[in-house]
Chains A and B, each alone.
Chain A
Amino acid sequence: MLIPHPLLGLRDAQEFSYLGDATLIDRPAAPAPDAAAPAGAPSGAPPDDEPGPPGATDLAAVEAAFCDYVFLRDNPAGVHRELWYHEQGDRSWLVVTRDTVTHEILGAELARDVALARRAGDGAPAMPGQGPDREGQA
């Protein structure tokens, strides 16, 4: 397979490692002090007196969200947005849009750009019209 690296052009897939569904970008927010910090304005170091763990109800919801995130997959037969790592190259993580039935590749983006777009709150796939809707997970 050949992967159209957004910076480096067509590269052999052998240069890449595969991780899986691009939803792995959408790690659930955990109830920790830094998770509450506004995006794009991280603090240099956490405060010395960290707050304690959140309440049990929160935790159950967070755990459930993590279980979905870590273990469950749409696993579509068709268009799939997925994470590839250019390990033998520039070490970029890419979001590649690929058809799992034909292996046709419809596009590739820098995963960092996708993640930043998510942070910015638009929640939409960076390639309009491609990839399943993942609203509400940003």
Chain B
Amino acid sequence: MTRYSGGLIDRSREITFRFDGRSYRGHPGDTLASALLANGVRLMGRSFKYHRPRGVLSAGSEEPNALVELREGARQEPNTRATMAELYDGLVARSQNRVGSLSFDALAVNDLLAPVFAAGFYYKTFMWPRTFWEKLYEPMIRRAAGLGSLSGLPDPDAYDRGYLHCDLLVIGGGAAGLAAALTAGRSGARVILADEDFRLGGRLLAESDPLDDAPAADWVARTEAELRTMPNVRILPRTTVFGVYDHGIYGAVERVADHLPVPDDRVRQTLWRITARRSVLAAGATERHIPFADNDRPGIMLAGAMRAYANRWAASPGIARDAPVAIFTNNDDGHRTARDLIARGARVAGVIDTRPKAAQTTAYEVFAGGLVTGTRGRLGLRSIRVVHDGRERWIDCAALGVSGGWNPVVHLASHHRGRPVWDQDIQSFVPGQGGPQGLVPAGACAGRGSTAAALADGARAAQSALTEIGIGSAAPDLPRAEDAPVRQAAFWHVAGKGRAWVDFQNDVTVKDIALAHKENMRPVEHLKRWTTLGMATDQGKTSNVTALAVMAELTGRTIPETGTTIFRPPYTGVSLSVLGGGATGPDFRPTRLTPTHAWARAQGAVFTEVGQWMRAQYFPRAGETHWRHSVDREARAVRSDVGLCDVTTLGKIDVQGRDAGLFLDRIYANTIATLKVGRVRYGLMLREDGFLYDDGTCARLAEDRYVVTTTTANAGLVYRNMEFARQCLWPDLDVQLISTTDAWAQIAVAGPKSRALLERIVDGADLSNDAFPFMACRELTVCGGLRARLFRISFSGELAYEIAVPARYGHALMQRLVEQGADLGVTPYGTEALAVLRIEKGHAAGAELNGQTTAAMIGLGRMVSRKKDAIGAIMSRREGLAADTRRLIGLQPVTPGQSVSAGAHLFARGAPQDTAHDQGWITSACHSPHLGHSIGLGFLEQGHTRMDEVIVAANPVAGETVELRVVSAQFIDPEGGRLRD
């Protein structure tokens, strides 16, 4: 082990975990990265392109190198940052992106080919021969690319989604965030404090500096304890605020059970949508590295990360507690690491400080004005080459801490595309104007990075945010803290011959940037896209600013002139499961059930999805081995006896008011206002662009009361449009609307014996043809007093009715009709038979009314009144619509036994089968049990003039061509005698 003493780990408990098959031990409070380091493991991953051996770079969520596949089986989770994986007993992780073992990766051959694989090389080759791209080059590239792998199995865990509201959201629980939360909490404001870590404190946990002469962790603990007593404060640890959306809405993911072996009865993660009146962004800063030759070896890490591992996790960065460690820095921070390491008992081999005037100390050797220009150690750092005072020497060390200064974490502040601005004093980008409304950056992420400044700034930010929403607050007493000025020098990389990595994961080096410059890929976005810089899983957090600086140097411009870098959600990777965890699988969309659903299920019905609805498709009976047997039987029963079908799903809209008729006249293309009370009219609705929108019936129940039915698919949309017309177009009309689709159960009773059946349940009403003719309607009672609406309308072409009762009686009504109709041969039928019946009758339905159809195309052009204004009336007269001569026709095979296929295209006999000669298509087809052969409906050029012509239906995707005869679309009873009897 390489543990120091102390640290914020629970040494009373030891837990075991496995990495690449080997067993190790750690403690609660460890991350996978800290535990591996404490076990002397430096090699944790391989880079993306060159498969270079890599160790951990950081101690936070910006980690580009130490990515592992965490867990096994269906829970396998690729690309997990070892720095963010909280250690639990039995944790299993594997290294990834390797062929062979982590220490011997066959794809490391790519590193030898690195001269060929320079930036943008893909774009210049692999072009010959053409067909080799899909067959050879691309599969080869794909196999070598990618990082970790998915298991290929469905995610077994559960996820949740929740909504939170607060006055102040504090993002980040470090010095600034805690001060902000404390300030706001004490004011009584509703506060949410979110931090991605499992422990509050942020950098306070990583530093050795005291607060009020006591360890900082003590103040953190006291503050957290106080916040936890406040009912107005909610603390969300293990929660990443990943995105800022409009109007103060923040997306956050709480990792509820990722620190457990399995979630058990918990959800794994929760997606929170937090609506905050104001927020304080206290996201801190991330350290930047300094590119130099071979700066990517395992053991080279950020100096601040080294400090975090030593102070918080008591883990030595080297392979042993006393292994020599060196520091390379361009600012004071590197020295802080050296001091802390020495305090922990480490041996510091030297601090190489790029500043010629760096202060000397007796505690360790300082190479002022020195540079690190090379390293050795294939799988782990062995030594570094230092140039100092014109001399070059190799210094042995097992770890090198690098500090290039700190970048404020401006990520969330730029989610609304506000650009960060360059702060020359601290050589960093800080949040600029145009950030999300109501978001106040504070502390290190605003460029105020000393502990004292961060504490004070957090309190100030909370106060000013609360003032804006009228909540008074007082600054809390803040502890005394270090207040070293933040001095960052403009030293960006060590020039030289070797490869110096800027983006570790994607293997982008200073040379690649130089090449991009040479090839005129100079705008930042070109640089990124050409070299893949900043496109790795860290989104460029460890590389973008450095790359900008290198490009600025090459172009001779300043960094802000060269460009800025903005970020988009998410802040760090968010599991797809939790983002899509709200409603998936069978619950992906709401499921609506008809009032007779349970009854139909008891009858053994097979169901089908119709939009949100589940509808009975057919009702198989014993002995029926194919769906066609059932459907044919059901359709025949309607033609010979009586059938029952639940048609509740059709939209129903009650239209009431003095001007209801006038209003409907403007909604329907045909005239409605002349409709008499007690009568029903078939109606066509157009879109304002003149195309057919919907069809249905309109029944006038009273002088000022109508019931409009719509198709199932358009129920909500027609209602929406009618409300639009009522509120926006004709607000002066006296008309009121309500959708009653769910209020009424409606059952079609169809067939020659339907009247006989209905007479058995209707309370004393005369249903004779004279008293209640075709297209009559009335309100009445059934079954001894149940209120009902009866409409004599027909979709099947038979004598038929639709009867509606309050929805809760739908089931009972269906049962009653079945009981009462037993001797009449009553037969429930489903959507398949419904479709057969309407095709036989030539009624247009969804396949014909697909939004591309004119009224004339379905033979109803004359219904569009030219004597009145109505939605779509004017535009239906446009040249193109009027000139469309395709008409709905019936089709049947010339050769008995052949089938009509929906989706086939129609051609004149002998015409070439191509787009230019296409004359139409088949919209619907079925086997007609009534006629005993296949029939179909279709649209055909000049179809109404081509009766009896033999045409060709081409179905090239099935390799079929069939000759069909054009016939009337009304295959049964074209005179309509049956439905009027």
Contact = CB atoms under 8 A, between A and B. Distances in A.
Please indicate whether A and B come from the same complex rather than being unrelated chains. yes
Interface of A: 1-2, 17, 19, 24-25, 27, 30-35, 39-40, 42-46, 48, 50-53, 59, 62-63, 66-67, 69-71, 83, 85, 87, 91-93, 102-105, 110-112, 114-116, 119
Given A34-B869, A44-B661, A50-B867, A116 B874 contact: no
Given A30-B869, A66-B875, A115-B731, A91 B662 contact: no
Contacts of A44: 658-659, 661-662
Interface of B: 245-249, 275, 416, 437, 658-659, 661-662, 665-666, 673-674, 688-689, 716, 720, 723-724, 727-734, 866-869, 873-875, 877-878
A83 B728 contact: yes
Contacts of B437: 104
A35 B869 CA distance: 8
B867 A52 contact: yes
B732 A116 contact: yes
A63 B247 contact: no
Contacts of A105: 247
Contact of A27 (B729, B732, B734): B729
Contacts of B246: 1-2, 103
A109 to B, nearest CB: 12
Given A50-B867, A93-B724, A25 B729 contact: yes
Contact of A85 (B661, B673, B674, B723): B723
A116 B869 CA distance: 20
Given A35-B869, A85-B720, A103-B247, 19 more contacts: A1-B246, A1-B249, A2-B249, A25-B728, A25-B729, A30-B873, A30-B874, A33-B868, A42-B659, A44-B658, A44-B661, A46-B662, A50-B867, A66-B875, A93-B727, A103-B246, A111-B727, A115-B729, A115-B731
A124 B922 CA distance: 51
Contacts of B873: 30
A112 B875 contact: no
B732 A119 contact: yes
**Which 3 pairs across A and B sit closest by C-beta, in order of nearness?**
A32-B869, A30-B869, A50-B867
B535 to A, nearest CB: 27
A44 to B, nearest CB: 6
Contact of B728 (A59, A71, A93, A102): A93
Contacts of A33: 867-868
Contacts of B659: 42, 44
A52 B868 CA distance: 9
A17 B720 contact: yes
Contacts of B674: 45, 48
6 contacts: A19-B724, A42-B734, A51-B867, A62-B874, A93-B723, A116-B732
Contacts of A39: 732
Nearest to A110: B727
B662 A2 contact: no
Given A103-B247, A104-B437, A116-B731, A63 B868 contact: no
Contacts of A70: 688-689, 875
Contacts of A19: 724
Nearest to B867: A50
B612 to A, nearest CB: 14
A112 B727 contact: yes
B727 A92 contact: yes
A112 B731 CA distance: 6
B878 A46 contact: no
A66 B729 CA distance: 14
B727 A34 contact: no
B573 to A, nearest CB: 25
A125 to B, nearest CB: 15
Contacts of A112: 727-728, 731
A93 B725 CA distance: 10
B867 A53 contact: yes
B733 A42 contact: yes
Contact of B662 (A34, A71, A85): A34
A5 to B, nearest CB: 13
A33 B873 CA distance: 14
B372 to A, nearest CB: 46
Contacts of A87: 716, 720
B701 to A, nearest CB: 16
B763 to A, nearest CB: 32
A40 B732 contact: yes
B248 A46 contact: no
Nearest to B675: A45
A63 B878 contact: yes
Contacts of B688: 27, 66, 69-70
B796 to A, nearest CB: 33
Contacts of B869: 30-32, 34-35
Give the one of A2, A27, A102 with max B CB within 10 A. Answer: A27
A115 B867 contact: no
A1 B723 contact: no
A63 to B, nearest CB: 6
Contacts of A27: 688, 729
A48 B665 CA distance: 13
Nearest to B720: A85
Contacts of B874: 30, 62-63, 66
B813 to A, nearest CB: 29
Contacts of A59: 877
Contacts of B716: 87
